[in-house]
Amino acid sequence: MNIEATLQQHISKAIETLYGTAVEAESIKLETTKQDFEGDYTFVVFPYLRASKKNPEQTANDIGNYLKDTCDDVADYNVVKGFLNLVVAENYWVNTFYNHIAPNKEFGKTTTGQGHKVMVEYSSPNTNKPLHLGHVRNNLLGFSLSQILEFNSYEVVKANLINDRGIHICKSMLAWQKFGNGETPESSGLKGDHLVGKYYVEFDKHNKEQIKELIAKGITEEEAAKNTPLLKEAQEMLLKWEAGDEEVKNLWQTMNGWVYAGFDATYKRLGVSFDKFYYESQTYLLGKEIVQEGLDKKVFYREEDSSVWIDLTDENLDKKLLLRRDGTSVYMTQDLGTADKKFEEYGCDKSVYVVGNEQEYHFKVLFSILKKMGKSYADGLYHLSYGMVDLPEGKMKSREGTVVDADDLMDEMHNTARELTLELGKIDGFNEVEQVELFETLGLGALKYFLLRVDPMKRLVFNPKESIDFAGNTGPFIQYTHARINSLLKNVSESGFETGTAAPHTVLPHERDIIVWLTKFPKTVEDAGREYNPAIIANYTYELAKLYNRFYRESPVNKEPDENLKAFRVILTQTTGQVLNKSLALLGIKAPERM
C-alpha cells in the first residue's frame, strides 16, 4: 500500500478514536508539504474542528501524536497553525525504493485504463498545403496523450481524419493545371506537400489580381471576391469532383498522393504515427441516416421549409442546423456520422478529439447532440482543446505568408542545436552520422518540450528566433541529465562494480528528495491521463532532472569508498535514468545515450 493511503487510514482512525466522528479514509486530503517547512505530507485540520471542538493547534497536535504512536511510517510531526506536517520515516522511503521502485522496470505504469479502448484523433490536416506550427502543437499533444493513455493501460487507436476534399483542394489543382507546366515533386525537387501548397498560394495571387480587375470595373469588393473567373472555375471543378468526373478525380488523386508523401516525411521526422486514417472524401456524405434517426427519436425537428434542426437552448447553446432545406448536410452532420462510424469500427468507450479551441463550440454541440440521441459512447467523448500558436507579429495567416512551416521549423531547430553544440565543443568522439542524429534529437527535443510544457489551453507565442533556449527548463537540459547518467553508469559498469551488495542505510536529504519525487511518478502519469494534459508530465520530468543534478553535484558516486553506499547511489542513478527515459518517451522526446 502506498504511503498516502496508509496516512489517510491512520488519520481517519485518529479522528474516530479521539473525537468519535467517523470519517472516510478516502475523503481525507493530503498535500505535499511546502518546501520551507519540515515534513513530507501535510494534513490541514481546519475542516475537522467541528469534530474535535478544539482549536487548530490542539487538534493538529492530538492527531500528530496519535499518528506518531500508532503508525510506524510516521517518524515525526510538527504543527504550524492548523497545518499538521508529517515526517515519513526514512526507512519507509528507502524500503519502498529498494523493493518497489528500483526493481520495477515498468515503474509508473498504472492499470486505470484496463478494459477500456480509446480513440485519439489528432493532426487532421488539409491536403492543400504543408503542415505548420499549429499542426506541430496538435501532433505533439495528440501523440503524447496517446503514449500517456497507453501507459495507463488503455488500448489506444491513433486516428487522423484528413480533409482531402473541398474547394481549397480544387484551388491548388486548378492553379497547378493553369500555371504548373506539369511540374512534379521529382522535376522540381520540392516536397510534395510544399509543391501543392505553392499552387494554393499561386491561386490566391492570380485570384487577387482578378478581384482588382473587377473592382476597377466598378464592382464592389465584396461582390468581386465572390465572382472572379478563377473562383468560379474552382467551384465548377468541385462540382465535377462530386459528380465523379474522371479527369478531375485523377488529378486529385495524383496531387493528394504528393501531399501524403510529404506528410509522411514530416510525421516521421516529428516522431508521430497513426493506426488509422480517415478521409473526408469518404466520410463527408455520412450522417444522413443519423438525421433520420434523430427525427424518429424526436430529438431533431423539421422546419416548414423542410430543413432539420436541433434545439439546444436548454443547454445554453443555440438552435443548430443539421440538414439544409435542399437536403445537403453541414459539417455537424458529417461529424455525427463519423462519430458513429468510428464506434461501429472500433467500439471505443472513450474518444478524444485534439482540435484547436476555435472549435470548442462545435464540439460542445456535437457531444450534446450525441448525448441527447442516447449514444452509448457519448459520455466518453472529450475535446482536447488547445490555444492557437501565434507569432510575435500576430496571428499566423497562410495567405499573408506569415505561417511557420513545420519542415522549416524543424530545420531551424536542428541548425540551432548544431551551432550551440559546436560552440560548446561537445562532439568529441562523434562521427558525422552520429553528429547529425544528435543535432536532430536535441533540436526536436527542445521544440517538443517547449510546446508541451505549457498548459494546452493557453495560447502560445512562438518566437522562432528567440523563444527556444537550450538552458534552464528545456528539453535539452533533461536530455543532458539523461546522457550524463548513462555515461556515469557506463563508467561504473566498466570498472567492474557490482551493485548486488546494496542494503538499507541512511540517505542524504537530496537523495531522499529524489526517492520521494520518484514515488510521485505513477500518480503524475495518471493525473496527466485524466486531465488529458502532457504538461503535467513535462513539469514532473524537469523537476526530476533538476533533483538529479543537485544529487550529482553533491554525492560523488565513483569516488565513494563505502561499497554499500556506492551501490545505493548507482541504483538511484539507474532508477532515475529509467524514469527520465520513460517520461521523456511519454512526451515523444528521445533520450540520447550520450551527447
**At closest approach, how far in Å is the CB of 170 from RNA?**
22
**At closest approach, how far in Å is the CB of 550 from RNA?**
4
**At closest approach, how far in Å is the CB of 547 from RNA?**
9
495, amino acid identity: S
Beta carbon nearer to RNA, 348 or 528: 528
DSSP one-letter string for 228-270: -HHHHHHHHHHHHHHTT-HHHHHHHHHHHHHHHHHHHHHHHHH
Indicate whether 168 belongs to the interface with RNA (CB under 7 A): no
Q: Under 8 Å CB-to-CB from 506, ≥6 apart: which residues?
A: 90
Among 316, 344, 494, 509, binds RNA (CB under 7 A): 316
Among 9, 54, 57, 82, binds RNA (CB under 7 A): 82
Residue 385, strand partner residues = 355
Q: What are phi and psi of 118, to 5 degrees?
A: -130, 140
Among 557, 567, 584, 587, binds RNA (CB under 7 A): 557
**Nearest C-alpha neighbor of 78 from the set 89, 90, 87:** 87
Site residues for RNA, 530-549, by CB under 7 A, read: 535-536, 539, 542, 546, 549
**At closest approach, how far in Å is the CB of 478 from RNA?**
9
Secondary structure of 108-171 as H, E, C letters: CCCCCCCCCEEEEECCCCECCCCCEHHHHHHHHHHHHHHHHHHHCCCEEEEEEEEECCCHHHHH
**At closest approach, how far in Å is the CB of 551 from RNA?**
8
Indicate whether 303 belongs to the interface with RNA (CB under 7 A): no
User: Under DSSP, is residue 391 helix (H, G, I), strand (E, B) or coil?
Assistant: strand
How distant, in Å, are the alpha carbons of 27, 487, 541 from that of 33?
A: 18, 34, 20
How distant, in Å, are the alpha carbons of 105, 297, 494, 507, 563 from that of 566?
A: 21, 71, 15, 11, 5
Bridge pairing between strands 319-323 and 308-311: antiparallel
**At closest approach, how far in Å is the CB of 558 from RNA?**
4
Rounded to the nearest 5 percent, the helix, strand and coil shares of the chain are 55, 10, 30
Indicate whether 455 belongs to the interface with RNA (CB under 7 A): yes
Site residues for RNA, 202-231, by CB under 7 A, read: none
- Taking CB under 7 A as the rule, which mask of x and - marks residues 417-446 in contact with RNA? x--xx--x-x---------------x----
Indicate whether 461 belongs to the interface with RNA (CB under 7 A): yes
Q: Hey, what's the torsion of the CAs at 173, 177, 182, 186, to 10 degrees?
A: -10
Query: Rounded to a whole number, what is the largest CA-CA distance in the chain?
Result: 93
Give burial (CB, 10 Å; 0-12/13-18/19+) of 114.
Answer: exposed
Beta carbon nearer to RNA, 421 or 576: 421
How distant, in Å, are the alpha carbons of 181, 232, 273, 292, 445 from that of 269?
A: 31, 38, 10, 44, 12
Beta carbon nearer to RNA, 488 or 579: 488
Residue 501, Ramachandran bin (φ over 0: left; ψ between -120 and 50: alpha; else beta): alpha
Beta carbon nearer to RNA, 410 or 595: 595
Indicate whether 477 belongs to the interface with RNA (CB under 7 A): yes
Beta carbon nearer to RNA, 243 or 471: 471
**Options 9-17, 64-72, 369-377, 556-564: segment touching RNA (CB under 7 A):** 556-564
Indicate whether 400 belongs to the interface with RNA (CB under 7 A): no
* Residue 437 exposure: Cα atoms within 13 Å on the Cβ side: 11
Extract the C-alpha cell encoding 248: 478531375
**At closest approach, how far in Å is the CB of 451 from RNA?**
11
- Taking CB under 7 A as the rule, which mask of x and - marks residues 486-525 in contact with RNA? xxx--x----------------------------------
Indicate whether 471 belongs to the interface with RNA (CB under 7 A): yes
Among 5, 436, 457, 508, binds RNA (CB under 7 A): 457
**At closest approach, how far in Å is the CB of 262 from RNA?**
26
**Options 175-183, 240-248, 294-302, 358-366: segment touching RNA (CB under 7 A):** 358-366
Q: What are phi and psi of 23, to 5 degrees?
A: -130, 130
Among 265, 285, 321, 571, binds RNA (CB under 7 A): 321
**At closest approach, how far in Å is the CB of 363 from RNA?**
10
- Taking CB under 7 A as the rule, which mask of x and - marks residues 11-50 in contact with RNA? ------------------xxx-xxxxx-x--x-x-xx---
Indicate whether 550 belongs to the interface with RNA (CB under 7 A): yes
Distance CA 491, CA 200 (A): 56
**At closest approach, how far in Å is the CB of 174 from RNA?**
26
